[in-house]
Structure 1
Amino acid sequence: MLLSPLALDLLVAALVGMAVGVEREWSGHTAGPDGRFAGARTFALLGAIGGFAGWFLRIDQPVLAAILAAAGATFPVVAYWSTMRRDGTTADGTTEVVAVLVVALGMASGLGHRTPAAAAAAITVVLLAEKSRVQNTLRRVDAHEMRAAIQFAVLALVILPVLPDAAYGPYDAFRPRQLWVVVLVFSALNFAGYIARRLIGETRGLGVTGLLGGLVSSTAVTLTFSRRSREEPQLALPLALGVVAACTVLVPRLFVIITMLRPELAVATIPVLLPALVAGVGVMAFVLWKERDTRPDTAEQTLADKPPTGAARGNGIGSNPLGLASSLQMAIAFQAVLFAIAWVQRNAGDTGVLASATLLGLTDMDALTVSMTRFANAPGNQRIAAAAIGVGMLANTALKSALVLTIGAPRYRIRAASGLAVLAVGSTIGLVLSWPR
């Protein structure tokens, strides 16, 4: 090797500091009346100080390490104090704070963690260089959006981890953590729809939201958009397009899962899944072609730039972009469906793999897909497993059609149900082509 591991650690420590120092000089923070204390060379030396402090810790010299680290961290503090004593100096301590961070990152590299140190330094440089863009983005975030982001962080990072990941209640159908994930999915869809609506307008925003939401749960998209169609009937077409997009993206998502878990089964599922994918893409292409001359007008752009009012607030899009109340209601309904399916499975029994796929496909295509990859472990079961996935997808489409017809507004029902019917025809063709004989 040209360089020993220790030499590489110390070199990365110095380069971490130099990268930050170069950005400080490039952005002009070292010149003028507000010029700060350090440029590329000083920052490189601070990184090296941190690197040697980490090395001293590795060779059991904690006193020397503490002295070096304290000296490196104290220097920016003293420099800031001296700078603030100058008349007319702007109170901005970014350079001094990042200097202390450079010492810490250099110390991490000196301890042998040069990859995390380099990654953290890269993120730091990006944050420093993109200061104006970050500030402009923050100015565009209103109080509703910031509050919703904080609430979602609490729901996902505080509440979710403490919920038990176990089964309770009749038929062990109540799983608190999985149910809370449903709440998070619905809330995330509401929030994503709100942001997309503001950024790119109604038709494009809802279509993109449905497409992305289908990567997580196409059933959740169908529930959310069907409910919203009653509160905002003028969005019937974009909401229906979002549902078709979510159900279409389900197909490649399942194929990716199968390919990762059982590549040989993926080959058997191609004739099952391909017709449905073609049908869904065809529906979306037809709608977009038909609406090709439609552009977001001034009124729509104005609507996209401010929180909606009236009925939209009932969906939590104005007062709460997460729509937390509606998300909880949908999770309760989802849990009721799980209890019902569990009762059917326990009392009626399964009449074979295909019958089980019909029941499981109603609510959880991912679970069905994973179980079929295990079932296809025997080569003779691959065609049955592929057909079971097709049956489950057809049952899942039937469930979404029922949701559309029972929850959606009249204009939305016609459009969404028609798109789902085309998808169902595609799934049926795939089953006919690949039915085990």
Structure 2
Amino acid sequence: MPDSLVSLIPTDAFKLFLVIFLSFLIGLEREEQKVAVGHYAFGGVRTYPLLGLVGYALASISTGAMIPLALGFVVVGGFLLLAYWHKLQTAQGSGFTSEAAGLMTYLVGALIYRDRYWVATAIAITSVILLELKTTLEGLTQKFSPHDILTFTQFLFLSLVILPILPNQAFGPFQINPFKTWLVVVAVSAISYGSFLLQRYRQGRGGVMLSALLGGAYSSTVTTVALAKRSLADPRPRVYAGSMMIGSGVMYLRLALLVSLFNPGLRQTLLLPFALLGILGMAIGGVWASSGKVTEEVPPQPHLYPAQNPLELKAAFLFAGLFVSMVILTHYVVLYLGNRGVFTLATIMGVTDVDPFILGMTQSAGQGTELAVASGAIAIAAASNNLVKDLYALLFSQSPGHLKFDRQLPGTQALGLLTLLAIAGLTPLLWLL
């Protein structure tokens, strides 16, 4: 507690006020819930402050000793168990949240006596938030399947349990670092999963541009293909062409973040130009999409989010394998083909997912590969990927066997926009090479 606050009011008075205030917040939320359900529910604006005061008083009498506090916890828990039993007899579908909140309130009082102000405040506020968001949190079960939850749990196991025990040192002639390799997988998967969750939560709401914005953080290539296919049944070519540009702009911001995380040298050379390219792509795409006119009725929008969860273990291990392969391949290319070979490889890698190659470059930049060469190769790979997306946009936005270059078609418009972004993406080469 700040010294200035201690000098103004007695310590015990401050503690009692904090106990009553935090307990009252919990009781107020439970009182509202009791009124809403219309049947018996444990506690309210008087009961919870009393429980908090019981915890504080018992801690004060026992001078913070654990055995009296534990016995008090058992006694309070017994009374709450009786209340819960009574609720089961009088109401259907009764939950245990009010009784659990009562136990937490008792602990809040004890924690404040022991000067654990931050912990007590965090517990109380978190409890109120969880209680208040009951409908929202229960609604999430309708948006995410048990398989999604299992996948997320597996990812947490691999990132929070396995990652810390991996050796953080290089092995073998290619200097492969197991910790950094899996850290790359965790970072990429986390960014992609964040976008995946937002798209799943939105459930197609928010329009095409929002879908492109979120999809670009997952995969701008997948987003381009999805938007091109969707444009076949939607009379808004500018909206889709601009949205494809937005997705590619987000790609540059995503790459700027990943490069900055894993190589300080590349952060100095690429963070600013990639951030500017990202903003430029999003701005041009947004203006182009907003200028579109609808001449026909707009059909309902299907979901854009990808079918595969990015935290699938197979996808994670596949990415790890591709990442290690890119590190090894880059080593041999630099050794036998020199800088031109690296640039050629970067151009070829743009045809597929550029993340494994670019993140592989973050590991070799400044070591086996010159920093300027690695920076140039990353810029080339991103530009090459934009040119490949030109082709995807053109092909998938038209019916099979009817390829044509019509300025009114979204694929043709996207061709010009993405080509412009690809050319702009090569400008860092002017000072890097």
TM-score interval for Structure 1 and Structure 2 normalised by the shorter chain: 0.5 to 0.7
TM-fit CA distance, 1:208: 2.2
Counterpart in the other structure of 2:196: 191
Aligned residue-pair number: 389
Amino acid paired to 2:110: M
Q: Distance in 2 between matches of 1:31 and 1:333?
A: 54
TM-fit CA distance, 1:125: 1.6
2:385 is equivalent to residue 400 of structure 1 = yes
1:293–1:328 Cα change, 3 Å:
farther
8 Å contact from structure 2 (residues 243, 286) kept in 1: no
TM-fit CA distance, 1:47: 1.0
TM-fit CA distance, 1:6: 5.3
Counterpart in the other structure of 1:341: 330
Q: Distance in 1 between matches of 2:291 and 2:364?
A: 35
Question: What CA deviation, in whole Å up to 9, does each residue of 1:187-222 have, x standing for no partner?
Answer: 627834751672326723531223444xxxxxxx14
1:4–1:183 Cα change, 3 Å:
same
8 Å contact from structure 2 (residues 151, 312) kept in 1: no
Amino acid paired to 2:277: A
Question: What CA deviation, in whole Å up to 9, does each residue of 1:310-347 have, x standing for no partner?
Answer: xx9xx635xx6867656655554444323211323455
Counterpart in the other structure of 1:152: 151
1:295–1:289 Cα change, 3 Å:
farther
Amino acid paired to 1:149: D
8 Å contact from structure 1 (residues 21, 38) kept in 2: yes
8 Å contact from structure 1 (residues 211, 242) kept in 2: yes
Q: In structure 2, which of residues 340, 348, 359 is the aligned counterpart of residue 364 of structure 1?
A: 359
TM-fit CA distance, 1:423: 2.3
CA RMSD of aligned residues (A): 5.0
Q: Distance in 1 between matches of 2:391 and 2:29?
A: 58
Q: Distance in 2 between matches of 1:187 and 1:212?
A: 6
Counterpart in the other structure of 1:280: 281
8 Å contact from structure 1 (residues 36, 83) kept in 2: yes
Q: Distance in 2 between matches of 1:194 and 1:274?
A: 23
8 Å contact from structure 2 (residues 29, 131) kept in 1: yes
Counterpart in the other structure of 1:162: 162
Q: Distance in 1 between matches of 2:259 and 2:318?
A: 31
2:111 is equivalent to residue 108 of structure 1 = yes
Question: What CA deviation, in whole Å up to 9, does each residue of 1:402-431 have, x standing for no partner?
Answer: 764798883478666644432233244465
1:91–1:185 Cα change, 3 Å:
closer
8 Å contact from structure 1 (residues 222, 403) kept in 2: no
Counterpart in the other structure of 1:299: 300
TM-fit CA distance, 1:157: 1.0
Counterpart in the other structure of 1:35: 40
TM-fit CA distance, 1:27: 3.3
TM value normalised by structure 1: 0.67
Q: In structure 2, which of residues 124, 130, 143 is the aligned counterpart of residue 121 of structure 1?
A: 124
TM-fit CA distance, 1:152: 3.0
Counting aligned pairs with the same residue, the percent is 17
8 Å contact from structure 1 (residues 212, 246) kept in 2: yes
Higher RCO structure, 1 or 2 (CA under 8 Å, sep 6+): 1
8 Å contact from structure 2 (residues 217, 254) kept in 1: no
Q: Distance in 1 between matches of 2:142 and 2:297?
A: 20
1:390–1:340 Cα change, 3 Å:
closer
Amino acid paired to 1:426: A
TM-fit CA distance, 1:122: 1.5
1:240–1:169 Cα change, 3 Å:
farther
TM-fit CA distance, 1:229: 7.7
2:250 is equivalent to residue 249 of structure 1 = no
Amino acid paired to 1:206: S
TM-fit CA distance, 1:252: 7.2
Q: Distance in 1 between matches of 2:18 and 2:295?
A: 54
Question: What CA deviation, in whole Å up to 9, does each residue of 1:120-159 have, x standing for no partner?
Answer: 2112222323334444x24642xxx222431332232112
Q: Distance in 2 between matches of 1:242 and 1:368?
A: 29
TM-fit CA distance, 1:42: 1.8
Counterpart in the other structure of 2:26: 20
2:376 is equivalent to residue 391 of structure 1 = yes
8 Å contact from structure 2 (residues 174, 331) kept in 1: yes
Q: Distance in 2 between matches of 1:230 and 1:332?
A: 30
Gaps of 5+ in 1: 214-220, 373-383
1:162–1:371 Cα change, 3 Å:
same
TM-fit CA distance, 1:98: 1.4
Counterpart in the other structure of 1:76: 80
